[in-house]
Amino acid sequence: MREKNFRKPRVRELLETRGIELPKKINEKFILKLIDSGILIPVGSSYKGAVEFIDNLNFSDRSFALFPSKFKVSKEESDYGIKSLEALVKIDSQQTLRHISKGKDIPFSLTKEFAEQHRIWPYTLIRQAIKYMDVEKPPVGFYWVGTDNHFRATTWIRAVAGAEMQVMKGKGDFKGEVIDKRPYARNLKVRVSSRTEEGEKYEFTLTRLPMHKRGDIRQYSDWINLGHDSADPDASYRGEEHERRKHPVCFWSASTIFSFYDAMSFVRQHPRWMQFRINPFPIPTNEKMIDFVDKLRLKSLILNEENGKLKLEILSKTVIDEVIGARTILSYDNCWHHWGKKNLSYLYRPQKS
C-alpha cells in the first residue's frame, strides 16, 4: 500500500513490514538463509520471466522477488540512458509513422498536418512504437519530437506517480493548485508541493496545453508542443543537462505530470472554456497493473555484490522502469489507458492507521 510521501524505503523497512525478524546487520549469511527458506525467491535472468514472476507474486505473503545483479543499473548508466534518450522509445519514429499512414506521405518528423490528417492520439503512437522493441531490452520510457525541434520525454514510473498524486490530492493527501484564475491563451501557472522535500513547493507554467472546443481538428496536433518550465529537480536537472544538446529536452517528472492532470481538472470545472482533448501520459489501466508496480516497489529486492560480499538493495527507478517497459511490450492494453473517466481509486490506497 502506498504512503503519503515518496521517500525511498530501506531494505530493512521492507523486510520488517512482512514480519521478518532481522539481525542487527543484514549480512551475506542472513541473505543466504532468506533464500534457502524461500523468503527471497529468484525471478530468473530474463525480463519476460521477471514480468511473469511479478504478475504471479502474492502481495500479502512474506516472500520477496529477488532480482539477480544483471538487472542492476548504475546511476551513471541511468543518467546517460535518459539524457541521451537511448534508453527510451521514440514514439514518432519513421517506422511508427509509416504504420499510421500505411506508407503514404510520411514526413521526416511528426508534423501538425500529419497528426491532424490521421487524427493521431498519443497512445496510438506509444502502443505501435513499443511493438518494435525487444522485450529483453525494454525501454524505460518514451519521447517525441515537437515541431519546435525540442524533445519531450518521461519514464513509466513517473507517469504512474503523476497519476497517483492526482488521486492523492482528491483524498487530501497531496497538495497542488492552479494559480491562474483562467487560462492565458493555452498556458496555466500552477503550484505543486515537492514529492520528497517537506514544505518545498514549485511554481511554474504549463505551456501550449492541448485545449480546444469539441470537434476542433487541432486537438490531434497541439499536444505535440506541450511544455513546462518547472524547477522541480527531477525535471530541471535533466533539462539543464539536455541544454547541452543541439535540441533541448523538456523532461516530464511525476510532479509536472501531476500538474497537467491538475490543470485538466481545473479547466473541466469551466465548460465554457476550451477543454483538454488529448492526454499524452499513460495511466495504469487497472488494479492489477498498479499491483504489479507496487510489487516492484515494495516486494522486490536486487542482489548485488559489493567488495566481494552479497548485499540486498531495493530496485532503482530505472530497474522498475525496465520491468514495466517489458510488461508494456508484452501487453500494452493491460498496462495503460489515457483517460480518467472511470474510477481511479485503485491508484492510491493509503494504509489504515
User: Sign of the C-alpha dihedral, residues 163, 164, 169, 170?
Assistant: positive
Which residue type sits at 172? G
Interatomic CA distance for residues 325 and 130, integer angstroms:
9
- Within 13 Å and on the Cβ side, how many CA atoms surround 210? 22
User: Sign of the C-alpha dihedral, residues 332, 335, 340, 342?
Assistant: positive
Per-residue confidence (pLDDT) for residue 90, from 0 to 100: 97
Q: Give residue 156's Cα distance to chain centre.
A: 3
Q: Please list the residues that pair with 89 across neighbouring strands.
A: 142
Strand order, beta sheet including 249-251:
88-90, 141-145, 151-155, 249-251
At residue 267, the 3 state secondary structure works out as helix
At residue 343, the 3 state secondary structure works out as coil
At residue 182, the 3 state secondary structure works out as coil
Measured at the CA of 231, the angle between CA 230 and CA 234, to 5 degrees, comes to 95
Closest CA to 54 of 63, 107, 306, 110: 63
Q: What is the pTM of this model?
A: 0.94
223: its cell numbers: 499536444
Q: What is the CA radius of gyration of the chain?
A: 21
Q: What are the distances in angstroms from CA 79 to CA 74, 139, 334, 339? A: 9, 14, 29, 30
Which residues are CB-contacts of 71 (< 8 A; sequence separation ≥ 6)?
Answer: 50, 302, 315, 319, 322
Angle between helices 287-298 and 47-56 (to 10 degrees): 110
At residue 206, the 3 state secondary structure works out as strand
Interatomic CA distance for residues 26 and 31, integer angstroms:
7
Interatomic CA distance for residues 109 and 266, integer angstroms:
32
107: its cell numbers: 514526413
Q: What is the pLDDT along the chain (353 residues), one digit of tens a residue?
A: 444 456 788 999 999 999 999 999 999 999 999 999 999 999 999 999 999 999 999 988 999 999 999 999 998 899 889 888 999 999 999 999 999 988 777 888 899 999 999 999 999 999 999 999 999 999 999 999 999 999 999 999 999 999 999 999 999 999 999 999 999 999 999 999 987 777 889 999 999 999 999 899 999 999 999 999 998 988 876 555 555 666 688 999 999 999 999 999 999 999 899 999 999 999 999 999 999 999 999 999 999 988 888 999 999 999 999 999 999 999 999 999 988 667 888 998 775 43
Beta carbons of 284 and 51 less than 8 angstroms apart: no
Write the DSSP symbol of residue 184. Answer: B
Containing H/E element for 170? Answer: helix 156-170
Q: Please list the residues that pair with 303 across neighbouring strands.
A: 312
Closest CA to 301 of 36, 52, 39, 28: 39
Strand order, beta sheet including 309-314:
40-42, 64-67, 300-306, 309-314
